[in-house]
């Protein structure tokens, strides 16, 4: 048995050196408490599946929630499920495996899925911020500006835009010849592949920088502008209306910051090789925006949004 296990490990390592597999060296920091990490990951994955599927079911089944805001929220949960399923099952399998590897094809599929998850998440959060801006700053025009048809078109555009944007990123990386097989993460990402390239990667870097500036810069500008305008309006209205507005916006801001802080850490960390941060901390923080928002988003909205709570009670009564 030991010989066959050793042979299998040798074959996997040989595959990694031949370029058919990548070694995920981030797991090296997690060898001590493997089963504990696996149990935590399993609980996290099952909880994420449960809360997101429950929220999607509530929004679909309750007709009173067929409004622009909740359509966005339903899409957010679908995207969160997509992101979690792209990461956690393979991560758990590697925790129990002797060799922490991922195939060449599987690596690029994971890059596409995780980057697509991040892009769509940010676009949906931007649409939700704009929705709150219209609802609070232009309430009389809300029903004409934010119709269900317009929101559905916006969301379909968001998914298609992200799909083609990431497809180009993956296509540019697929053409690169690689001189290494070790990725210092728990999962595959595009920058890690670029770092393994044997040739000049200026085209990849320029396109990557362009997508960061456009894809992060424009949504962040819209979100910041929306909330500044909301704050200006809130300072001029009654205290009761202020409390209601802050309660609604507080939910969106919690969701926004839980995703953006982790995503910015990864973006900055990939381009600034800081040796002051322990490698274990870097590995864990690189997971934050991939595993925490999908779990807490439905919980935050479910607990803080009265219409969702009431809809859940009605469904469970029936």
* Cβ neighbours for 275, distance < 8 A, ≥ 6 positions apart: none
Q: What is the pLDDT of residue 276?
A: 62
> 29-33, 94-98, 115-119: which has the minimum mean pLDDT?
29-33
Strands 101-103 and 182-183: unpaired
Task: Measure the CA–CA gap between 266 and 273, rounded to whole angstroms.
Answer: 11
SS (H, E, C) 117-143: HHHHHHHHHHHHHHHHHHHHHCHHHHH
pLDDT given for residue 278 in this prediction: 64
Give the whole-angstrom CA distance, residue 72 versus residue 256.
Answer: 14
Task: Indicate if the pLDDT at residue 56 is higher than 50.
Answer: yes
Q: Structure tokens of 29?
A: 């920091």
Grade residue 6 by pLDDT with cuts at 50, 70 and 90. very low
Q: 69-75 contacts: CB < 8 A, separation 24 or more?
A: 69/128, 69/131, 69/132, 69/135, 70/307, 70/308, 71/148, 71/151, 71/152, 71/155, 72/124, 72/127, 72/128, 72/131, 72/151, 72/155, 73/128, 73/301, 75/120, 75/124, 75/155
| CB neighbours of residue 116 within 10 Å | 22
Return the residue matching tokens 């540019």: 172
Query: Residue 23: which H helix or E strand, with range?
Result: strand 21-24
Residues 6+ apart with CB under 8 A from 129: 222, 223, 226, 227, 252, 256
Predicted model pTM: 0.86
> Model confidence over 210-241: pLDDT tens digits?
888 888 888 888 888 988 888 888 777 767 76
Alpha-carbon distances, residue 268 vs 86, 163, 188, 194, 286 (angstroms):
23, 23, 17, 16, 11
3-class state of residue 187 by DSSP: coil
pLDDT band at 60 (very low <50, low <70, confident <90, very high): very high
The band of 270, judged by pLDDT with boundaries at 50, 70 and 90, is low
Contacts of 197 (CB under 8 A, 6+ apart): 176, 177, 178, 179, 204
Domain boundaries, the chain: 52-317
Where does the pLDDT of residue 18 fall: very low under 50, low under 70, confident under 90, or very high at 90 and above? very low
pLDDT for position 263: 79
Distances 184 to 33, 42, 196, 291 between C-alpha atoms, Å:
19, 23, 11, 18
CATH class of 52-317: mainly alpha
């Amino acid at each position: 048995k030991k010989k066959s296990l050793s042979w299998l490990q040798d074959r996997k390592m040989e595959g990694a050196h031949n370029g058919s597999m990548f070694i995920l060296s981030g797991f090296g920091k997690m060898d001590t408490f493997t089963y504990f990490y696996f149990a935590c990951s399993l609980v996290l994955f099952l909880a994420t599946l449960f809360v997101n599927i429950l929220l999607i079911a509530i929004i679909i089944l309750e007709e009173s929630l067929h409004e622009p805001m909740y359509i966005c929220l339903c899409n957010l949960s679908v995207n969160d499920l997509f992101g979690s399923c792209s990461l956690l099952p393979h991560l758990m399998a590697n925790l129990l495996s002797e060799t922490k590897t991922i195939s060449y094809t599987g690596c690029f599929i994971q890059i596409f899925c995780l980057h697509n998850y991040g892009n769509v998440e940010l676009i949906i959060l931007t649409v939700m911020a704009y929705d709150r801006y219209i609802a609070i700053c232009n309430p009389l025009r809300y029903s004409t500006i934010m119709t269900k048809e317009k929101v559905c078109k916006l969301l379909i555009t968001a998914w298609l835009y992200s799909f083609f944007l990431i497809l180009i990123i993956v296509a540019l990386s697929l053409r690169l010849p690689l001189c290494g097989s070790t990725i210092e993460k728990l999962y595959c990402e595009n920058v890690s592949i670029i770092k393994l390239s044997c040739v000049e990667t200026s085209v990849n870097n320029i396109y990557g920088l362009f997508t960061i500036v456009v894809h992060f810069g424009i949504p962040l500008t819209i979100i910041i502008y929306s909330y500044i305008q909301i704050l200006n309006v809130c300072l001029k209205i009654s205290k009761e209306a202020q409390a209601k507005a802050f309660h609604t916006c507080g939910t969106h801001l919690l969701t926004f910051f839980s995703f953006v802080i982790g995503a910015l850490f990864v973006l900055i960390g990939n381009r600034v090789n800081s040796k002051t941060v322990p490698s274990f901390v870097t590995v864990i923080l690189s997971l934050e925006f991939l595993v925490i928002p999908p779990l807490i988003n439905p919980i935050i909205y479910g607990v803080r949004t009265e219409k969702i709570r009431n809809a859940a009670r009605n469904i469970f009564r029936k």
